[in-house]
Amino acid sequence: MTDNTIRDSVQSRYENIAQGDACCDENDCDCESSAQSVGIYDTDMLQDLPVDVTGISLGCGDPVTIASLQSGETVLDLGSGGGIDCFLAARQVGQAGYVIGVDMTPAMLEKARANQAKLGLTNVDFRQGFIEDLPVESDTIDIILSNCVINLSPQKKDVFAEALRVLKPGGRLVVSDIVTEGDFSDELRADVSKWAECVTGAIDVDEYIGLMRQAGFTNIQIVDKVDAEGIVERQPGMPRLFSARITAYKPQ
């Protein structure tokens, strides 16, 4: 299993979801979850958002609430999908602020831009690219958000290095992601379909934090960590799966 194999599988799955194709069968229906059904966001946050936004929310947590966004800030969302976190952030940073969403899947970008037009937001920009090689200038971002996406990358070290590069000194990273306690067997790790479902690409939380620290992030904190049951499917033999919200800073 190569990095390209993983990337192709992930892109195919999310392309099918964006296009409204059946993305699960009777034995695998976790992808039917929406922002409302899994209770990820406070319902007040979702007011005025169309179902094309809330119904395609595929995150595992709410990074926006703990981000403490301020008016005028520039925000970057890694793996922006249908755009829900970008739109929530755009409300908080206002017209003086700016939000960039980066996603590798053209169908997701098309969906997000259509949603943006419905909402009439002019302070959001969706860009095609990989989170391991961001189409963003260095030292330009106040805060990076990411929601259940970094676990999908086979090159997590590069993701954190790129995040550090584009953040301004003192900028912050706020992620919600699937992590484990323990490791997958080699056989489970090679299940590319489960990787694309935000399962077998997840790594032990201590390793996750270690990669962030290795990239140069400081003041790393696990804000909360809850069992991921109901968000992703855990099979026998797998380590425990958690949805964790983590914050970190680029040194001044």
Q: What pLDDT does 23 receive?
A: 40
Q: What are phi and psi of 236, to 5 degrees?
A: -55, 140
**What does the alpha-carbon distance between residue 177 and residue 5 come to, in Å, rounded to a whole number?**
22
Model confidence at 232, in pLDDT bands (50, 70, 90)? confident
Q: Is the pLDDT of residue 79 over 90?
A: yes
In sequence order, the β-bridge partners of residue 199 are: none
Q: What pLDDT does 20 receive?
A: 81
Structure-token pair, residue 108 = 């997701």
**What does the alpha-carbon distance between residue 228 and residue 100 come to, in Å, rounded to a whole number?**
28
Q: What pLDDT does 50 receive?
A: 81
Q: Identify the helix (H) or strand (E) that includes residue 174.
A: strand 167-181
Q: What pLDDT does 30 receive?
A: 43
CATH number at residue 206: 3.40.50.150
Model confidence at 33, in pLDDT bands (50, 70, 90)? very low
Domain count, the chain: 1
**What does the alpha-carbon distance between residue 143 and residue 161 come to, in Å, rounded to a whole number?**
15
**What does the alpha-carbon distance between residue 182 and residue 168 come to, in Å, rounded to a whole number?**
34
- pLDDT 10s digits, 169-192: 999 999 999 999 999 999 999 999
Residue range of the domain that includes 129:
3-249
User: Strands across the sheet with 141-147, in order?
Assistant: 124-128, 98-103, 74-78, 141-147, 167-181, 240-249, 218-227
Q: What pLDDT does 37 receive?
A: 44
- Of 20, 50, 35, 58, which is closest to residue 152 (Cα–Cα)? 58
3-class SS letters over 18-64: HCCCCCCECCECHHHCCCCCCCCCCHHHHCCCCHHHHCCCCCCCCCC
Q: What pLDDT does 29 receive?
A: 38
